Structure 1
Amino acid sequence: MNYIHFFDKYLRPFFGLLIVLNLIHQVFSSGTTIIDFPLFENFYKISMLLFVVELCLRFYLERKLTFLSTLDAIVLINYYFVGILDFRMLRLFRAYSSFSNHEILLPSNILIKTVYKQRYALLGSQIMVVSVLLVFSTLIHFLEKDVYPEAFGSILSSMWYGITTLTTVGGGITPVTSLGKLLASLTMFLGIGIFALPVAILASAYYEEIQKRNFLISLETISSIPLFEKLPVGAIGKINSKLQAALLPAGKKIITKGDNADAMYIIEFGSVKVELSDPITLGPGDYFGERGLLKNEVRNASITSAQEVKLLKLKKEDLLELISEHAHLFEELSAVSETRSG
């Protein structure tokens, strides 16, 4: 039995839901007497006990201490041995991780990945912000320190005004000298441009990621796949309505050996690793999972994404329907499946 697969498929969603319920419990029990009810108190205790079991299972399966596991341990150690504060809200990150593959969280996942990919560009833009802040704070300090020492008596105190000026939110402090007012006005306009820079970086990169993950499969994309290139336009249009796109990160288990075969997959971009005695790697245009469908067998090999991969999924019933209408598909699929196990 593949325990990791079982944990990911059944236990991870369960613990994710339990975390969400605990966070709701924490919110409603803060400052109220709801926690005094036996039902809610017992729910809290049982949940923490189950979280201990979850943490032990994760250590056993993952064999390493991750960032999320560290947060989990902090929450549990605090509950059982310290009891200073209720740290359950830290498990929000674990809940997010538990449901990270759900379609609802897809935009958030893309945004997080975009921020990570553009981290150096974003860091560079923030260095620019800090540099402008230091220059402005120094200049406004020299101009205003004698006439308004309470607000501009030092560069550090001037930085507060610099921050409110760059962000154009205002802070109740106004320069006294004409040069100080002119400098502040110019800095306000500069602040608009500076803070628009990281927004532009993120917006552009986010759009590219969205386009990359566009789940609307074009007819051109389908017709370029070797398996379907000989089909008439009408058949390609029919396939278009049946294929389902999925974007998976590197290291994601796609097929587990011994599972029932319910679909085949076509690689649009990226690559996957077929875990055989002599492992093989499949790339764009290749397909896998057809053997189990054609021979009505369970999966005879596990397949994992070698890098970020976009797959086009074709369900068993849809494939059989296509084969009944286009016999050459069966011949081609059978020929390929005989050359490898997949």
Structure 2
Amino acid sequence: MLEDMRYKKLNIFLEKFIYSLIVLNVVCLILESFKVLRIDHQNLFETIEIFSIGVFTVEFFVRLIIAEKQENKSWRTYFFSGYGLLDLLSILPFYLPLIFPFDLRMLRVLRLLRIVRIFKLGRYSKSFKTINLILKETKPELLITAFIAFILIILSSTFIFYAENEAQPDKFSSIIEALWWSLGTLTTVGADVSPITPLGKFLSALIGVIGIGFVALPTGIISSALIDKVKQDRENCHECPHCGLRAKED
């Protein structure tokens, strides 16, 4: 029992440590975008990067070993899983330039890949796990929404092309060119070109109204699933009569 408690405390400590290290890496990545900070504190950033890579590399190989020792599983189970590939992507940008000679542009791309480390938080954050679970549960509904969105984008791009092509051939030269306008209008972000024909203006207003529902549909699906999940968690919890804390029922 005592050994289990010690193991649990060690596990909690390691999770919090890696969680904090991931957050620190994201903060450093943001701060490095400032030229003054990047030059003045280059040694500090490099030290944090090397230390982080060491920790993430050890974590990656430890998880490979643990996966190999688990019953009915192998290292491939973890390696090709979502988290396994994510852990690999988190350390590859550091090791690849040591093996292969890359030009400056490719090195910048590899450094940019460090941002994927933020997704490692999903393993240690309850909020990320909840969001991931909700997205999995609402996958069929979201796929239907995505299909409807695809149809709407194609239709609106086609209609606006035929309505505006003669009046603005340079801005609506093809249906592909009209796709950008369609995306901007449907998502209510706004496009950099505007229809000038009466039919084009009518279509723009109509698509703008449809776009409100287009944005609200997936938002409503996810919000509803989130509310249901919170209610379910509360129903599965009981309150301690002595301390007032809530805990999940076994």
Give the counterpart of 2:241 among 222, 239, 242. Answer: 239
Answer yes or no: is the 8 Å Cα contact 2:171–2:193 preserved in 1.
yes
Tell me which protein shows more helix as a share of its residues. 2
1:94 is matched by which residue type in structure 2? K
Answer yes or no: is the 8 Å Cα contact 1:15–1:54 preserved in 2.
no
For the residues of structure 1 that align with 2:18 and 2:55, how far apart are their CA atoms? 8
The reply to whether residue 22 of structure 1 matches residue 19 of structure 2 is no
For the residues of structure 1 that align with 2:211 and 2:229, how far apart are their CA atoms? 28
For the residues of structure 1 that align with 2:152 and 2:92, how far apart are their CA atoms? 44
Match for residue 138 of structure 2? 118
What is the percentage of aligned positions where both structures have the same residue?
A: 26
Match for residue 89 of structure 2? 74
For the residues of structure 1 that align with 2:83 and 2:215, how far apart are their CA atoms? 32
Compared CA separation, residues 204 and 173, structure 1 to 2 (3 A): same
Answer yes or no: is the 8 Å Cα contact 1:28–1:34 preserved in 2.
no
The reply to whether residue 138 of structure 1 matches residue 155 of structure 2 is no
Match for residue 103 of structure 2? none
Give the counterpart of 1:11 among 14, 19, 26. Answer: 14
TM-superposed CA distance for 1:35, in Å, is 4.2
User: Deviation digits for residues 185-244 of structure 1, max 9, x if unmatched?
Assistant: 1111111122211111112221111111127967xxx9xxxxxxxxxxxxxxx8386563
Match for residue 249 of structure 1? none
Q: Normalized against structure 2, the TM-score is what?
A: 0.74
Matches within 5 A, 1:114-263: 114-214=134-234, 239=241, 242=244, 244-246=246-248
Matches within 5 A, 1:271-290: none
For the residues of structure 1 that align with 2:29 and 2:189, how far apart are their CA atoms? 34
Match for residue 258 of structure 1? none
Answer yes or no: is the 8 Å Cα contact 1:122–1:198 preserved in 2.
yes
TM-superposed CA distance for 1:34, in Å, is 4.3
Q: Normalized against structure 1, the TM-score is what?
A: 0.56
Answer yes or no: is the 8 Å Cα contact 2:161–2:172 preserved in 1.
yes
Give the counterpart of 1:46 among 36, 43, 51. Answer: 51
Moved more, 71-80 or 110-119: 71-80
The reply to whether residue 91 of structure 1 matches residue 96 of structure 2 is no
Compared CA separation, residues 158 and 212, structure 1 to 2 (3 A): same
Q: Which gives a bigger RCO, structure 1 or 2 (Cα 8 Å, sep 6+)? A: 2
For the residues of structure 1 that align with 2:177 and 2:164, how far apart are their CA atoms? 12
Root-mean-square deviation (CA), in Å? 3.0
For the residues of structure 1 that align with 2:209 and 2:65, how far apart are their CA atoms? 56
Unpaired stretches in structure 1, ≥5 consecutive residues:
223-237, 247-266, 268-310, 312-342
TM-superposed CA distance for 1:134, in Å, is 1.1
Tell me which protein shows more strand as a share of its residues. 1
Unpaired stretches in structure 2, ≥5 consecutive residues:
69-74, 99-106
Kindly name which structure, 1 or 2, has the bigger radius of gyration based on alpha carbons: 1
Answer yes or no: is the 8 Å Cα contact 2:93–2:114 preserved in 1.
no
For the residues of structure 1 that align with 2:193 and 2:96, how far apart are their CA atoms? 48
